[in-house]
Structure formats: C-alpha cells, structure tokens
Amino acid sequence: MANRAIQWTGKTTLAFSLTMPLMGAQQLPAPVVLRVRALVCDQAGVSRETLIEAQRLASFVFQEAAIEFLWLDGGQSSVAESDYVLRIHCCFEKLNTRLHRRTVAFAPAGGRHITVFWDRIRTEAAAGSHPETLLLGYVIAHELGHLLLPPGYHSPHGIMQDRLNYEDWSRVRRMSNLFFSRKEVSQMRAALIGRSR
C-alpha cells in the first residue's frame, strides 16, 4: 500500500505514565475538571452509534487534560447553549472551499466552529481499512484542539500532528491512543479558563 497521508488541517506516540508516590511525599491535587458544551449538528446523517462512539473517543482524548465535553444534539439544543459547534457536513465538494482535496475537517483557531466532511472521513477510513468511528473521533479531538490552541498550531507528535499516514493509523488501532502533550494541556486549560471569565 502506498504511503498516503491524511491531511486534517496528526504521528502517533505511545505514552505510558506510571507514577509511584514516594513515601511521605504529598500528592498534587487533581486539576479542576473544565466542562465544555459542544453542539453537534449532523447534516450528513451519520448513524447514532457511530456519532456516540466518536464523541466518546474524542472525550477520552481530553480526559487526561481534565476537560470534559457535554455533547448537545443540534436538533434539540441551540448555539446559544453551547461553547463550540461541530458541524458534520455531508460533502466536501459541495462547500466550494479552497481547502486541499484531502482535507477531512477544519476549524479556525480561536473560533467556535468545526466543520468535518463525512464523505472524506468515510473515504479515508475505507482506504486505510480503519473504522470510521476511530477516524471521526480523533479528527474531532484534533479540531477541538485547534479551537483551544494558538493559531496554526501543530505538533510533531500526538493528536495535534499535521498529517497522519495509514501506517500511523494502524499503530493507533493497536494502541488506541493519541493524546495532547503537557504543554498543549496547559495551553488549552488556560484558554478555557480565560474564556470563562
């Protein structure tokens, strides 16, 4: 299989964290969980099961950062009730954008809206023989990261990597993780705290 890269406008790392408290050492308090409401407007007809699993995966990526997402149904909630808006659009070609043809999603840094192209997710998932839920969940987490990190931010490793090729996705399936770095976690938490004031 040719080495094709998915552009999502992420190389994986496997991070193990094993901490053993020293005798008599004080444990640091757990960070306050920051809650974020994301309105999901599914304009592509993604199955409920796929959407719920992708949301669960995106939430899992943010869990280590102590950021918790509440996913609001676009048919039952309003934009005014949400902090961010996730729009799943059916067709890349219909939007007439200047984005690269391999782009699966985009989110303007510092904004509130994410657009995911369901047809591109399905095509890329099928080409790499990966579950659509896996790709959709990680793409949502990556794009939410763009909303909380500096403009144009990408990392050489982890969830915020610019491109992720099919070999990387194979490793992700075995490891089941892509996460944010400590620096990214600090920046995102600071951005959320700053916006809540």
Identify each DSSP E strand in the chain by its residue range.
5-7, 34-42, 67-73, 84-89, 105-106, 113-117, 163-165
Per-residue pLDDT for 22 more than 80?
Answer: no
With a CB cutoff of 8 Å and minimum separation 6, the contacts of 150 are 109, 187
More confident call, 99 vs 72: 72
Confidence class for position 176, pLDDT limits 50, 70, 90:
low
| Domain boundaries, given as residue ranges, for the chain | 33-192
Structure tokens belonging to residue 98: 């200047």
Q: Which fold has domain 33-192?
A: Collagenase (Catalytic Domain) (3.40.390)
State the pLDDT at residue 170.
Answer: 60
**pTM (two decimals):** 0.81
> Could you give the C-alpha distances from 159 to 7, 36, 39, 135, 137, in angstroms and in order?
13, 19, 22, 12, 11
Q: Count CA atoms closer than 13 A to 85's CA, side-chain side.
A: 17
Per-residue pLDDT for 106 more than 60?
Answer: yes
Per-residue pLDDT for 151 more than 50?
Answer: yes
